[in-house]
């Protein structure tokens, strides 16, 4: 098994993709809007991926956060609120906000499990600030670390109850970035002491099954390399101070924050200590390069993947009742 998660080009597997995936044996797959038509098509696609692997516990990911980050949407699936909606309720009724986040995540899990998706890249544990890029503030749970941790924990628990694995992101924190890593490499100049606020939510949820790195340079820890490529940040901060021992995947290595060829970035990420590389865009030449640069997943990484996939039981709950409960709680913010 290669330590990489690949994207797919469309709503069905192509013959070239089938042949390549059988040979490369990636650790998982990630889906986007280009892969999604309706329930029947999406279930057939995820079933095809399970058939390739000849097992049921295949890592099939999606970014289904709510708000603007949603790969499944109307009219086939309902819209879901993003993090700031729950943050607004927390201002008035913290316990209600936590319960709303849990109900929302359980409904999300049920919706994804129904179509064979096994992992949702949620929750964000990034602590927002006034200067934070809108790419994060439009999605984050708030500006106070323990508030973010509380709603992140409820989201992880809800997703698990709905039948999918959650991923905490973006380690060790994206909240001080003032530019979008899709286009630029942010540099954070905060001191080590100031960064305690940023890592606090991740430390509180250090037992999460999966985590995702950030493509950000933290000068207090490593002036030369972004977290994804930094052995210092991964080993001393993420594994050490935070205490995270789950599967660590990169954010999408195609983002412009990182330089080099896809294969170079993938190899450097694994060498730095990431367990798995995330490559989203299904460009066959790039996937071939990445697979050629990577060896097999480490035994530790494989154990973390297996442990994460085994962490979620069968989904449970009533979708309509969960949505009704969430909406009733969210309505309290307007009272």
| Domain locations along the chain | 2-334
Q: What are phi and psi of 194, to 5 degrees?
A: -65, -35
Sequence-distant contacts of 91-97: CB under 8 A, at least 24 apart: 91/333, 92/332, 92/333, 92/335, 93/329, 93/332, 93/333, 94/147, 94/150, 96/329, 96/332, 97/151, 97/329
* DSSP 8-state secondary structure symbol assigned to residue 169: E
Active-site residue numbers?
Answer: 182, 251
CATH class of 2-334: alpha beta
Per-residue pLDDT of the chain (335 residues; tens, 9 = 90+): 999 999 999 999 999 999 999 999 999 999 999 999 999 999 999 999 999 988 889 999 999 999 999 999 999 999 999 999 999 999 999 999 999 999 999 999 999 999 999 999 999 999 999 999 899 999 999 999 999 999 999 999 999 999 999 999 999 999 998 888 887 899 999 999 999 999 999 999 999 999 999 999 999 999 999 999 999 999 999 999 999 999 999 999 998 889 999 999 999 999 999 999 999 999 999 999 999 999 999 999 999 999 999 998 888 899 999 999 999 999 999 87
Assessment of whether the complete model's pTM goes beyond 0.85 = yes
> At what angle are helices 262-272 and 284-293 packed, to 10 degrees?
40
Q: How far apart are CA 322 and CA 184, in angstroms?
A: 39
């Amino acid at each position: 098994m290669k330590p990489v998660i690949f994207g797919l080009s469309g709503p069905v597997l192509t013959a070239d993709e089938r042949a390549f995936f059988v040979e490369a044996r990636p650790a998982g797959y990630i889906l986007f809007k280009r892969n999604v038509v309706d329930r029947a098509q999406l279930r057939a696609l995820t079933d095809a991926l399970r058939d390739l692997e000849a097992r049921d516990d295949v890592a099939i990911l999606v970014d289904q956060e709510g708000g603007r980050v949603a790969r499944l949407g109307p009219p086939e699936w309902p819209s879901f609120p993003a993090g700031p909606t729950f943050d607004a309720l927390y201002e008035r009724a913290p316990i209600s906000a936590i319960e709303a986040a849990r109900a929302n995540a359980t409904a999300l899990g049920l919706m994804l499990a129904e179509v064979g998706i096994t992992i949702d890249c949620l929750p964000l544990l990034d602590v927002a600030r006034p200067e934070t890029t809108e790419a994060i503030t439009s999605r984050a749970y708030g500006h106070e670390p323990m508030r973010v941790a509380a709603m992140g924990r409820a989201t992880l628990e809800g997703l698990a109850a709905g039948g999918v694995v959650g991923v905490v992101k973006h380690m060790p924190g994206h909240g001080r970035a003032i530019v979008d890593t899709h286009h630029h490499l942010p540099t954070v100049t905060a001191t080590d002491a100031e960064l305690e606020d940023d890592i606090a939510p991740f430390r509180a949820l250090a037992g999460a099954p999966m985590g995702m790195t950030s493509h950000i340079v933290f000068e207090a820890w490593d002036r030369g390399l972004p977290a994804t490529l930094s052995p210092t940040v991964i080993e001393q901060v993420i594994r050490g101070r935070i205490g995270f021992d789950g599967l660590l995947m990169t954010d999408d290595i195609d983002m412009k924050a990182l330089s080099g060829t896809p294969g170079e970035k993938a190899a450097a990420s694994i060498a730095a200590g990431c367990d798995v590389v995330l490559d989203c865009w299904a460009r066959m030449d790039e996937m071939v390069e990445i697979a050629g640069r990577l060896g097999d997943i480490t035994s530790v990484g494989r154990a973390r993947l297996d442990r994460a996939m085994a962490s979620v039981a069968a989904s449970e709950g009533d979708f309509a009742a969960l949505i009704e409960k969430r909406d009733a709680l969210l309505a309290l913010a307007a009272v």
